[in-house]
Amino acid sequence: MPHPFPSQIPVESYSTHPMKPTLFQKASLLIAALTAAVSLQAETVKVGVLHSLSGTMAISETSLKDVLLYSFDEVNKAGGVLVSGKHYLIEPVVVDPASNWPLFAEKAEELLVKDKVAVVFGCWTSVSRKSVLPVFERNNGLLFYPVQYEGEELSKNIFYTAEAVNQQAIPAVDYMLGEGKKKFYLLGSDYVYPRTTNKILKQYLKSKGIPDSDIIEIYTPFGHTDYQTIVAEIKTFTAGGSATVISTLNGDTNVPFFKEFANAGLTSENCPVVSFSISEDEFRGLPAKALVGHLGCWTYFMSIKTPENKAFVDSFMGWLKAPKVTGVDYNVSGVDPKGRVTCSPMNLSRIGVHLWKQAVEKAGTFDVDKVRDALVGQKFKGPTGVVTMQANHHLVNNVFIGETLATGQFKIIKTLNGVAGEPFSEKFLTTK
């Protein structure tokens, strides 16, 4: 929530007599005094940030670290987390698991056991999440996971704020089927999220009458750079004009893929690509002008026009100019303010922070078991509308399909309201 004080006072309407404090000056002094008073009275609560700041996933995860620090500052500016009459300011503990899946587990253990954080916000890939899951269950920790994933999992120690398959992959495929696409090239990074998602999609496509011969499934390693052979195959596959690529490529491997794709003369007209891991943030490193018309499906786009989204974007961009976490001795470094955007995982990271804060305040404690119970049913009015946390630890959220513009933004072409996240595919797959 935006800080409610200085910007609301019209400076020009008051006297500026040199010997007499203006109303604005008095208000500024009062705000400073109140802030100092809250800081003196406030205690701190440690909160973990578990995102790759180096390695192949840094292209995506660094911005999630940034938006979490912004969200902590947002909470602290508003007085922190109120528990039993005491204000607790959030003190971030940031670690770098460096796109190394076993290191994710080590860093998670460190956060929970050594640093004794009350909650952790983190992970991007499903392999990193699955690496830390037993650590959180063994230590009864709490993890908020903000990135689209394959489902088929439910842990009492994880809250999945992001898109489940029925909030991203299924709506996107439905849209392409509605556009007359009859051939599907499933291209992904070689790990659990793409493989499980594509397993579900193949079953779904078969239920819609698409034969095996019109579905190709290919995987490449993290950090893969040579897409010449694959793109040549895609070009042959799409020759009839009724094909699409469903991409679950993750991390910086998207850069060489899309560059090769564009170099081969493939476009959104002759072969649209629907990406599930490409958002506005990743487009900063991609040839966006050559990718106009390709699609994404998320529960948030930066281009959404609501007062809440304008406030979020403006506030985040302002924070980037002088990043800090108010009220705690924490040095925010490595935040680059240039060319920044917002995206769905960033929005969902911020929503997770606010849902956790609300649940702690309702529970009146940081105790994980009580906070977990209090989280169910929590609502938060975010940039796209009200989200609700369900008993299955997934959100009810709106879903948007967007078309890429030359600016690296998305034009929303379809909206689905109030889609309840469902992790288990047998509950939404049909066999008709």
171 plus 297 within the same structural domain: yes
Residues 300-304, mean pLDDT to the nearest whole number: 98
207 plus 261 within the same structural domain: yes
133 plus 67 within the same structural domain: yes
289 plus 407 within the same structural domain: yes
Residue 203 lies in a domain: yes
- pTM to 2 decimal places: 0.87
Measure the CA–CA gap between 274 and 249, rounded to whole angstroms.
Answer: 11
Residue 206 lies in a domain: yes
**What pLDDT is attached to residue 216?**
98
Which residues on neighbouring strands pair with residue 386, listed in sequence order? 381
CATH number at residue 288: 3.40.50.2300
pLDDT above 90: residue 306 = yes
**What pLDDT is attached to residue 83?**
98
Query: Mean pLDDT across the chain, nearest whole number?
Result: 90
**What pLDDT is attached to residue 240?**
83
**What pLDDT is attached to residue 14?**
28
* DSSP letter for each residue of 254-270: HHHHHHHHHHTT--TTT
220 plus 174 within the same structural domain: yes
**What pLDDT is attached to residue 287?**
74
278 plus 403 within the same structural domain: yes
- How big is the chain, counted in residues? 432
Least confident of 17-31, 36-50, 111-125, 128-142: 17-31
Measure the CA–CA gap between 405 and 220, rounded to whole angstroms.
Answer: 27
Residue 1 lies in a domain: no
150 plus 186 within the same structural domain: no
pLDDT above 80: residue 431 = no
Backbone angles phi, psi at 112, to 5 degrees: -80, -40
Residue 77 lies in a domain: yes
Residue 322 lies in a domain: yes
* Enclosing domain of residue 274: 166-302+398-427
**What pLDDT is attached to residue 241?**
83
Residues 274-289, mean pLDDT to the nearest whole number: 86
Least confident of 40-54, 221-235, 336-350: 40-54
14 plus 49 within the same structural domain: no
Residues 289-301, mean pLDDT to the nearest whole number: 91
**What pLDDT is attached to residue 13?**
31
287 plus 419 within the same structural domain: yes
333 plus 380 within the same structural domain: yes
Residue 358 lies in a domain: yes
Which residues on neighbouring strands pair with residue 395, listed in sequence order? 389
DSSP structural state of residue 394:
B
Residue 432 lies in a domain: no
Residues 48-56, mean pLDDT to the nearest whole number: 96
286 plus 413 within the same structural domain: yes
**What pLDDT is attached to residue 283?**
85
368 plus 389 within the same structural domain: yes
Residues whose CB falls within 8 Å of the CB of residue 377, separated by 6 or more in sequence, listed in order: 388, 389
Total count of domains within the chain: 3
